[in-house]
Chain A
């Protein structure tokens, strides 16, 4: 019985242990997975530049899935930048967004 409990316990301990993805010093873990970010948030323009720079590193540094994640983030950040400056959107002559 004890052996069984110990085995279950060992299994649970393994499950509880954090799984670290392979990281490389060249990877920007803050952009990729919001890890190790400094206390401040980058401006939206800085985020665009950083993402473009990381995507350029390509397969040498990032996996295919990681590159997809970075590209999706670049699309999202670019869309937000455009959206913030979208024209119109009020009364007294408005419409749009």
Chain B
């Protein structure tokens, strides 16, 4: 090869190398939160809860539960590896001490809060790939990810493994999502082993949103759950079988009417309980098999500026079932180990509904929209006030009643039957927040519930349980 030709080849090789070199610089992002709270309560952390520690269950227990006092802490860490703005790996982890002093030198989530610590307790919450294609106006999320329903979380609000595709229409103000998720695969646990994927609980999702104008958005969502002989286990580690199909479809909206912002939804759920299906509210589980499903729910929320603050209100209705007949009107929400994988926090309750500050110790009278197949009427009103640049305060009142009594309804120990009233109680709560800086906030929050006639004489010796109360002091750092 002539020297001039060699030079040409070298130049060519150099140019090709330059063309092939990626213009990528991996960007690492690290975020997280830490929360420590002290809880003093005759509700949270007491014996007045079910086996999972979730649902208020004072039945047959002493009416005056000893007060619990405990410190609880949580840290969440998020690491995001960005190849560029369109390719990201997202990971999220959680480390909890359910209460200081619980154990040390062990291997279990929520443990290690005792003297000596040294516990393996890290939880992996999310690991997924987030891909974006601007020319197709489509985003894909693949892997274990957090997903919320289009109904304020009353159906599901959980981490789940699957694939979610979201497309923004270029010529219409429409966003559409489709997804497929595998919630559980317990093949071989209920039936003899067949092949993976046979005894599974899967969920298919469609969620569409249409922006009519700057003031109004409407949405249509449809979710299909197919659970075949899945072992969802009760709070004590015993087998519990879910065997059903549930189609959930509904409309949602958000609009501004003068100074008031309204949002809400209406949904209908239908399907069928298979021949092995069980309820998980008792140990062992009780058969709730070979029945049709037909349930509905509706919600409306409103908020408006009043003075320097914001006045808020929520109303939620969810149908319930009396336990008889060929059709159940109970609203299906997914559960695992007796916990609910849904949640309705918009009403800002502390005890009557789940507390937004509930970490590992997360208990409520109405724990989820299913509410032990009883359904619920739930109303609330609240006011948020920015006192200064650093201090904010809120007050809330809530009212709840079951929609229908059934075999899980509390029984009056004196009469041997359920009480005539379905009223669960009235909650009053208040909170104050001090913003130390952009990332750190100190808060105090307290709630008190005047129990309704539903709980008359349901405690030990036919007594009525004491009214529940809960006070928390906390510090939160988010970065």
Contacts and interface: CB of A to CB of B under 8 A. Distances in A.
Interface of A: 2, 5-6, 8-9, 12-13, 15-16, 18, 33-34, 37, 41, 43-46, 65, 69, 72-73, 80-81, 83-97
B361 A87 contact: no
B82 A96 contact: no
A85 B94 CA distance: 11
Nearest to A68: B134
Nearest to A79: B146
A92 B53 contact: yes
A16 B12 CA distance: 11
A90 B109 contact: yes
A87 B347 CA distance: 14
A50 to B, nearest CB: 12
Interface string B137-173: 0000000001000000100011100000000000000
A69 B12 contact: no
Contacts of A9: 8, 11-12, 15
Given A5-B12, A9-B11, A93-B54, 4 more contacts: A9-B12, A90-B109, A92-B362, A95-B343
10 contacts: A5-B12, A16-B18, A16-B19, A34-B25, A45-B439, A87-B359, A93-B53, A94-B339, A95-B367, A97-B125
B386 interface: no
B355 A87 contact: yes
A89 B15 contact: no
B110 to A, nearest CB: 6
A65 B53 CA distance: 49
B113 to A, nearest CB: 12
B125 A15 contact: no
Contacts of B362: 87-88, 90, 92-96
B16 interface: yes
Nearest to B355: A87
A25 to B, nearest CB: 21
A27 B354 CA distance: 44
Contacts of A33: 85
Contacts of A84: 31-33, 76, 78, 92, 478
B363 interface: yes
A95 B342 contact: yes
Contacts of B33: 84-85
Contact of A95 (B134, B335, B438, B476): B335
Nearest to B24: A34
A87 B358 contact: yes
A69 B86 CA distance: 10
A41 B29 contact: yes
A25 B137 CA distance: 29
B157 A93 contact: no
Contacts, number: 148
Given A9-B15, A45-B438, A88-B358, A93 B110 contact: no
B54 A96 contact: no
Contacts of A34: 25, 27, 82, 84-85
A24 B96 CA distance: 46
Nearest to B52: A93
B8 A95 contact: no
A41 B337 CA distance: 39
Contact of B30 (A41, A73, A81, A92): A41
B192 to A, nearest CB: 30
B19 A43 contact: no
B390 interface: no
Contacts of B132: 72
B94 A87 contact: no
B30 A16 contact: no
| Closest 5 pairs (CB-CB, A-B) | A93-B53, A16-B18, A95-B340, A95-B339, A90-B360
B343 A87 contact: yes
Contact of B159 (A37, A81, A87, A97): A97
Contacts of B31: 43-44, 80, 84
Interface string B190-221: 00000000000000000000000000000000
B157 A43 contact: no
Given A16-B15, A80-B78, A94 B92 contact: no
A85 B476 contact: yes
B479 A44 contact: yes
Nearest to A10: B15
B476 A89 contact: no
A39 to B, nearest CB: 11
Contacts of A41: 28-30
A31 B278 CA distance: 52
Contact of B337 (A12, A44, A65, A91): A91
Contacts of A95: 54, 158, 335, 339-343, 362, 367-368
A46 to B, nearest CB: 7
B436 interface: no
Interface in B60-103: 76, 78, 82, 84-85, 92, 94, 96, 98
